[in-house]
Amino acid sequence: MVKKIKISNKIISNNSAVFIVAEISANHLHNFDNAVKLIKEAAKAGVDAVKLQTYTADTITIDCDNEYFQIKQGTIWDGRSLYDLYKEAYTPWEWQPKLKKIAEEEGLIFFSSPFDKTAVDFLEDMDVPAYKVASFEITDIPLIEYMALKGKPMILATGIATLSEIQEAIDACKRVGNDQIAVLKCTSAYPAALEDMNLKTIPNLAETFNVVAGLSDHTLGISVPIAAVALGAKIIEKHFTLCRADGGPDAAFSLEPDELKAMVKAIREIEKALGTVTYELTDKMKNSRAFSRSLFVVKDIKKGEVFAESNVKSIRPGYGMHTRYYNEIIGKIAKEDISKGTPMQWKLIDN
C-alpha cells in the first residue's frame, strides 16, 4: 500500500497540496438556502471539498429515552437524548443530490459520512468519490467493510479509537481489497482542548500504518490545523458555519467564513514555506553572501609590516579571503603598501 489516494481529480500524497475539507454537518440549521450559502462561502474561502453527514435519527440510533440514550458525558449536548440531537442535526437526504450538484458547479469535491448501509447505498447512487468514517463509527467493522467494498477512498477519523482499533479498521478495508486509506487524527471533544490534541501523532500515524495522515479538528480557531500541516498532515477537515451566533449543534466549534478563508490562506503559505529538504542556495541567498564575514585590512599597512590582530580582522562584507585562513595570515609580511579597507588576498603576502 502506498501513501497516496485519489479523490475525484485530487491526488493526495506526501508530495501533494493539502486537501482541505469544510464540514457542513448540522450548520445549515435545516434551511436549504443556508446549506447552499455554506457551500458557496466554502468555495470562496478556497477549500477543496465540502462534506456532509448522511443519516437520520432512525438510521443512527433509536427513539428511546432511557439512561443509555441520554447524553451526560460532559459535552455541549448534555441533557438531550441521542435521538433528539440527531433529529435536529441530520441533513435531509432529498437535499444532498442538489447540494452535490451545486458544490461541483462551484468547483468543489462533494462527499459524505454514511452511518449505515442505506446511507452508503444512497451515496453510491449519487456517485460520491470518497467515504469518511466518522470517529464514533470506526468500531463498526461491518459498516466499514460495506463502504470499502465500493472501491472509493476511505478516510478514517480516529477520535475514539485505540491503536489496535485503528489497525482493525484499516485491516477491514484491506480485507475487501481497498487500500486507498487515509487516517485523520481526531480528538472527540466538542470543542477540543489544545492540550488534548497531541498533533505529534499525525506523522506517527503515517509511519505506523503507511497511510496518508491528516487532521479532523474540533478546536476553536485555526492554529491547530496550521500546526498540523507543518507536522505533515495532508488532509485538514474543519467544521464550518455562516455565523456561530446563529447556534446549532456544531456551531461552538465551527469556523465562520472569514476564519475559514484565513485558515486556507495560512495553510497554503505554510506549504510554500515547508518546501523540500535541500541545502542548495537560492540566487537571493547567493547574493546575500556579499554580506558575510571575510578578512579585511582594517588599518593602513606599510610594505614589510607584519600582519597582526590590530590590522587584519574578520568583518563584513564578504569580498576578502575566507576567515578560515586568519591564523595562517597572522605573522606574515606585507608584500606592498596596503590601505585600510582593502580585501585581504594571497597576493598581498610576501612569501
Query: To which residue does cell 456544531 refer?
Result: 250
CATH architecture of 283-350: Alpha-Beta Complex (3.90)
Alpha-carbon torsion (334, 335, 336, 339), positive or negative: negative
DSSP E strands, the chain: 4-7, 10-13, 19-23, 49-54, 109-114, 131-133, 154-157, 181-186, 212-217, 235-239, 294-297, 312-315, 333-334, 349-350
* Position 2 pLDDT exceeds 80: no
Q: What is the C-alpha to C-alpha distance for residues 222 and 118, in angstroms, rounded to an integer? A: 35
Confidence of residue 249 (pLDDT cuts 50, 70, 90): confident
pLDDT digits (tens, 9 = 90+) for 290-307: 999 999 999 999 999 999
**Regarding the domain delimited by 4-55+90-274, which CATH topology (the fold level of the hierarchy) does it fall under?**
TIM Barrel (3.20.20)
Mean pLDDT on 304-318 = 97
Average pLDDT, the chain: 95
pLDDT at 335: 96
Query: For 280-295, what is the mean pLDDT?
Result: 94
Residue length of the chain: 351
**Which amino acid is residue 111, in one-letter code?**
F
d(CA 16, CA 9): 12
pTM over 0.85: yes
Contact 209, 182 (CB under 8 A): no
Q: What are the backbone angles phi and psi of residue 326, rounded to the nearest 5°?
A: -55, -55
pLDDT tens digits, 166-183:
999 999 999 999 999 999
User: E-assigned strands of 61-180?
Assistant: 109-114, 131-133, 154-157
Render pLDDT for 36-69 as a digit per residue (tens, 0 to 9): 999 999 999 999 999 999 999 899 999 998 989 8
* Residue in the structure block whose three cell numbers are 499525525: 202
Distance CA 146, CA 58 (A): 19
pLDDT at 86: 84
Question: Measured between alpha carbons, how far is residue 183 from residues 50, 149, 207, 297 in Å?
Answer: 18, 18, 11, 61
Cis amide prior to 153 (ω within 30 degrees): no
Tell me the C-alpha distance between 222 and 234, whole Å.
16
Q: Is 14 helix (H, G, I), strand (E, B) or coil?
A: coil
For the cut 80, the answer to whether the pLDDT of residue 76 exceeds it is: no
Residue 1 pLDDT > 50 = no
Mean pLDDT of the region 139-163: 96
> Which part of the chain is CATH 3.90.1210.10?
283-350
Peptide bond into 191 cis (omega under 30): yes
Residue 171 has a pLDDT of: 98
SS3 helix, strand, coil % of the chain, rounded to 5? Answer: 40, 20, 40
Residue 80 pLDDT: 86
Whether the per-residue pLDDT at 73 is higher than 80: the answer is no
Q: Please say if the pLDDT value at position 6 is more than 90.
A: yes
What is the secondary structure of 150-216 as a DSSP string?
Answer: TT--EEEE-TT--HHHHHHHHHHHHHTT---EEEEEE--SSSPPGGG--TTHHHHHHHHHTSEEEEE
Assess whether pLDDT exceeds 90 at residue 351.
no
Condensed to tens digits (0 to 9), the pLDDT of residues 97-149 reads 999 999 999 999 999 999 999 999 999 999 999 999 999 999 999 999 999 99
- Domain(s) labelled CATH 3.20.20.70 in the chain stretch across 4-55+90-274
Find how far residue 51's CA is from the centre of its chain.
Answer: 16
pLDDT digit string, tens, across residues 182-239: 999 999 888 899 999 999 999 999 999 999 999 999 999 999 999 999 999 999 999 9
